[in-house]
Structure 1
Amino acid sequence: MPVNAEIQPGAQETTPAGLTVLIVIASSAGGVAALAEIFDRLPSDLPVAIAIVQHIDPIRQSRLPEILGRHTAMTVKGAEHGDHIRAGTVYIATPDYHLLVCQDATLELSHRAQVRFSRPAADHLFESAAEHYRGKVIAVVLTGMGQDGSQGIGAVHQAGGTVIVQDPETAQSASMPASAIQTGVVDHIVPLDKIADTIVAVLETGDVT
């Protein structure tokens, strides 16, 4: 599948090398089913890495890597502190830890304060991804309660990345996508069953800058 994703002029010095695109995803209530549908439709051979914040009970071990592993041929794992970000891998945020992207293309787990009552918070993931990957970021906000992700997509937009939001009418819980849309920085608002196609189209058309 042809991919035409070029980084912004001048971003070469500040962007970790060796990765075409980093996709960061925020989801909460209804998110497991939404993620499963996206991965059912998303080609597994895309030269991307994916990092996901799914809000979950902090005292329970996440089964999301196991669940999503049944819907994709990509490697799906719980994120660990110091993980190197590699294409073909899906990293799931650890319950009760923020997931951050570092300059050296590694991941950091942080127990810093909750953001809007959430830890992990997608805002931290999105902002750190935008800081280091600049225009090579695609941020996706899915179904969920609250406003998580709305601040982070602003950073992605300013860095030249692409923002995709699930149409609230197709979300089990509409408040997260609706809050994201209200920021005015969203590039694509699409129903759940079109999100994977939109990601592929963004990659193929080179809209990721």
Structure 2
Amino acid sequence: MEPRLKLVAIGGSWGGIKASLSILEGLPADYSIPILLVLHRLRNQEGNLQELLDKKLRLRVLEVEDKEPLLPGHVYLAPSNYHVLIERDHTCSLDDSELENYSRPAIDVTFTSAADVFAENTVGVLLSGASKDGSSGLSYIFDNGGIAIAQDPAEAEVAVMPQAAIDRVPGCKVMNVARIKEFLLSLHEH
């Protein structure tokens, strides 16, 4: 029996919103694994991404707040201008330290902290994007026994991010968006 997965962490940048929406639209409201979504967003711009996702998904979408517990059936959206870290008690903390890879939130920060807490019970998914953010975090998830997935660069709106992950993590699974959705559905425990 495989250990119960504790977190699906998804990262993306340019093209990542569309790709993540396609993946998450297919998941049921009672999806058994919390999902943490880190998308590069314009700094200091209040967006309505949370509302947009909440209207389109069956899962409940929340923008991460400090000390937010990670619960099944929820998508936690990294807020603009904060790194999201996972704490040992399975809550999130927000950090406004330096930009990493020119980004805050940075995907690497979240992926690394998720692997520190959940180790092999982590799934990391890196989607379309124009930077290399996320590749070292995905490598860290993989090195800690977790599952590493990169969107097929041929399908990605911008191939730089998933290609950087594939180059850095030769053992990662390369899948198109439809296959990522199927894979995440296969992990759901009814």
State the TM-score, normalized to the length of structure 2: 0.93
Is residue 156 of structure 2 the alignment partner of residue 159 of structure 1?
A: no
What is the one-letter code of the residue matched to 2:127?
L
CA RMSD of aligned residues (A): 1.6
Deviation string, structure 1 residues 176-200 (Cα, Å, up to 9, x no partner): 0000000134431011222110223
Q: Which residue of 2 aligns with 1:6?
A: 3
Q: Which residue of 2 aligns with 1:86?
A: 71
| C-alpha displacement of 1:5 | 4.0
Alignment of 1:117-132 (within 5 A): 117-132=102-117
Q: Which residue of 2 aligns with 1:110?
A: 95
Q: Which runs of 5+ in 2 are unaligned?
A: none
- Provide the rounded CA distance (Å) in 2 between the counterparts of 1:49 and 1:136: 12
Of 200, 206, 209, which residue of structure 1 is paired with 2:185?
Answer: 200
Q: Which residue of 2 aligns with 1:179?
A: 164
Q: Which residue of 1 aligns with 2:153?
A: 168
- Provide the rounded CA distance (Å) in 1 between the counterparts of 2:179 and 2:47: 26
Aligned residues: 189
Q: Bigger shift: 55-64 or 173-182?
A: 55-64
What is the one-letter code of the residue matched to 1:68?
L
What is the one-letter code of the residue matched to 2:3?
E
Q: Which runs of 5+ in 1 are unaligned?
A: 8-19
| C-alpha displacement of 1:45 | 2.4
What is the one-letter code of the residue matched to 1:26?
G
Is residue 86 of structure 2 the alignment partner of residue 101 of structure 1?
A: yes
| C-alpha displacement of 1:204 | 6.6
- Provide the rounded CA distance (Å) in 2 between the counterparts of 1:130 and 1:136: 8
| C-alpha displacement of 1:62 | 2.9
Contact 2:32–2:188 at 8 Å: present in 1 too?
no
- Provide the rounded CA distance (Å) in 2 between the counterparts of 1:180 and 1:44: 30
Question: Between the two proteins, what is the percent identity of the paired residues?
Answer: 31
Q: Which residue of 2 aligns with 1:52?
A: 37
Q: Which residue of 2 aligns with 1:75?
A: 60
Q: Which residue of 1 aligns with 2:47?
A: 62
Of 3, 10, 23, which residue of structure 1 is paired with 2:8?
Answer: 23
Rate the CA distance shift 1:86–1:152 in 2: closer, same or farther, 3 A.
same
